[in-house]
Amino acid sequence: MQLVSFAFLIFLPIASLIYFLIPSRFRYIGLFMISAGFYLSLDLKGTPVLAFTLLSAYLGGMFIDRHRGTAGKIVLFLVIAANILILALAKYAGLNFLSAAGMSFFIFMAVGYLIDVYREDIPAQKNIILLGLFISFFPVVTSGPIERAGHMLPQFIEAPGFDYDRMRSGLLQMIWGYFMKMIIADRCAIIVSSVYSDPVRYAGTATLIASILYTIEIYCDFGGYSNIAIGCARVLGFDLMKNFDAPYLSRNIQEFWRRWHISLSSWFRDYLYIPLGGNRKGIVRKYINILIVFVLSGLWHGVSYTFAIWGLLHGIYQVAGGILLPLRRKLTDAFKIDCNSFSHRLLNILVTFFLVNIAWIFFRVTDLHAAIYMVRHIFRFVPSFITEGGLYSLGLDRPNLNLLFMSVILLLAVDIANKKGIVISEKITSFGLWLRWLIYIAAVLFIITCGIWGTGYDAQGFIYQGF
């Protein structure tokens, strides 16, 4: 059962009704059973891996909580190593019987839980059902956000009751997530697939358009999923961490990673970068740590070495940015450039977007030669491709391209508003009753009628579910 499916739209209200009808002290049990049922419907063969991760995290956490010395450290290492080994064998050795939907996400949550217990940030959870709910909570189990036990377990214990304002806010965020996924991401995917399936056939304008559309696609696909997941959890009364915050309005790569896939970037920061020494052991060690973290981040995404190159590029971007920062400051002082002026901020945003866009090419392709070909030809402008209608040969007709263009403009406007601290959903809920409901109904009908539901109206999977 995908989050983008009619089955899920039936499942969610039924699951919510059951959850709120259960007495508060037993709600976590009901929610665990609902989450387990959701996962079984999604990936039956992957359930043993999820069960192993849960059991190893539970027993490991209990042992570590009682043995803080060398024995606890050894168990921590063994449990983490066992789970990472399963992840590596499934991803890199092709052992399909060890593969499970969303395994990268629930394994990372379990590892984070164990490290937090070892650091004494949280006590070990003695209730295996509560811990199981944390690891398998159905909105996040397949594609995140990668939550922290210290944030979620108290909420599960509290078992909040029904709240109309939370439900309304959650549903609005879900609608926006469906808009990002079904209106924008899946339309971009049609053109992107046409070009990336055989990049050598295309050059110049087509390559540039496809690379930009993939940059938009992966944001709207994963950002759309995150909004659906966060909104779904809020309907039930739970607050998940924010996972995206207008990332393509970032002025540098470091800021981009504070705004992109926040749960993953903060996970790598807290559980890898800081333990490696962070920036506490000198500038050279800091840059080495950054490169290690980003290469591992690339490898986390998949088996192709192009993922590692994608991560390495982002590491190099950050290292180069740090090295060149004193020179940039001297130049801005020498030429009396106002760093807060609109033109300077816009230039920084465009340069950052361009660097991110180039890196995404290596993320999308599986062949290095194809990636290099696309990067080399991306600057070769071919006017005839647009003037002679070549754009319409990539899978979308004129009405769909116009709809995509207007939707991206709306996405940009909402991201700008969010960055300025304007919450669109709060503005909508402040409108009068009739106007408010008119917007709700129009948005739902628009997504139902204009959304891309996949070939034969089968639900499209999310990109990050494969990671």
As annotated, the active-site residues are 301
CA 446/CA 448 separation, integer angstroms: 6
**Which pair of structure tokens corresponds to residue 76?**
């921590």
CA 122/CA 135 separation, integer angstroms: 16
Amino acid of residue 224: G
Are 241 and 262 a contacting pair, CB within 8 Å? yes
User: Scanning the structure block, which residue is given the tokens 């089955």?
Assistant: 7
Amino acid of residue 118: Y
CA dist list (Å): 356 to 113, 141, 274, 315? 31, 27, 24, 12
Which residues, in sequence order, are CB contacts of 264 under 8 Å at separation 6+?
108, 144, 146, 297, 300
Q: How many CA atoms lie within 13 A of 417 on its CB side?
A: 12
Are 28 and 131 a contacting pair, CB within 8 Å? no
User: What one-character-per-residue DSSP string does 231-247 give?
Assistant: HHHHHTT--PPP--S-G
CA 342/CA 329 separation, integer angstroms: 18
Q: Is the dihedral of CA 104, 109, 111, 112 positive or negative?
A: positive
Q: Is 167 helix (H, G, I), strand (E, B) or coil?
A: helix
User: What one-character-per-residue DSSP string does 94-157 give?
Assistant: --GGG--TTHHHHHHHHHHHHHHHHTTSSPPP--HHHHHHHHH-TTTTTT-----HHHHHHHHH
Are 181 and 381 a contacting pair, CB within 8 Å? no
